[in-house]
């Protein structure tokens, strides 16, 4: 009887010990190895998707909403992304020989609920789209979270700037908080 137990164990374990490549095809014609590979591909795809979804918790954008600078006239606009809405107004005034050109920028910022942090920047660009200057418009202190805010800034404009644009960085609260 001991010999029969050994024979049964060897018969059951032998295909496992030899590897899946030698396993017999299943009824559908696909070998167990192919099924395992498909499972691995699915697992890899799910992993990539989960990482992608987690990365959506942090948003960092390229330059958004480029607007030409209009001299000596008030300009009003709205910038809206999935993370915030900014209603803004600016006046671009030409400086004289002793003072640089300036923008008087005002805005009302409404961040999306659930953000731990939001940093909003204004960029000044030349005609080729090169960033000449960057000004942080909003960045709450550590641990304060993002909230409604009014922005008032006087921003020096470098020579050659013809466009302004925005960019932002946002981070969501963790799901399991």
| Beta bridge partner(s), residue 79 | 86
Segment 121-125 shows an average pLDDT of: 93
Topology of domain 59-172, per CATH?
2.60.210
Query: In this predicted structure, what is the pLDDT of residue 108?
Result: 93
Paired tokens of 48: 């990539």
H/E run at residue 36: helix 32-55
pLDDT digits (tens, 9 = 90+) for 18-41: 454 444 555 555 567 777 777 777
Query: In this predicted structure, what is the pLDDT of residue 100?
Result: 84
- Picking from 76, 64, 47, 56, the residue whose alpha carbon sits closest to that of residue 171 is 56
CA 154, CA 90: separation in Å to the nearest integer? 10
Segment 86-104 shows an average pLDDT of: 87
10 pLDDT more than 60: no
Using pLDDT thresholds of 50, 70 and 90, give the confidence band for residue 124. Answer: very high
Domain residue ranges of the chain, discontinuous segments joined by +: 2-55, 59-172
CA 95, CA 131: separation in Å to the nearest integer? 20
């Amino acid at each position: 009887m001991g010999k029969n137990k050994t024979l049964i164990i060897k018969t059951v374990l032998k295909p496992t010990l030899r590897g899946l490549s030698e396993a017999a095809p299943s009824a559908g014609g696909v070998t167990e190895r192919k099924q395992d590979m498909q499972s691995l591909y699915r697992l890899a795809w799910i992993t990539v998707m989960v990482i992608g979804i987690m990365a959506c918790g942090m948003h960092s954008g390229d330059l958004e909403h480029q607007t030409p600078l209009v001299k000596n006239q008030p300009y009003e606009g709205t910038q809206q992304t999935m993370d915030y809405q900014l209603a803004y107004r600016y006046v671009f005034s030409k400086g004289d020989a002793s003072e640089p050109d300036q923008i008087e920028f005002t805005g009302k910022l409404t961040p999306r609920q659930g953000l731990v942090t939001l940093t909003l920047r204004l960029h000044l660009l030349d005609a080729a789209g090169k960033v000449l200057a960057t000004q942080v418009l909003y960045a709450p202190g550590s641990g304060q979270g993002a909230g409604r805010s009014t922005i008032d800034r006087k921003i020096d404009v470098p020579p050659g700037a013809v466009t302004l644009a925005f960019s932002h960085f946002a981070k969501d609260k963790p799901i399991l908080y």
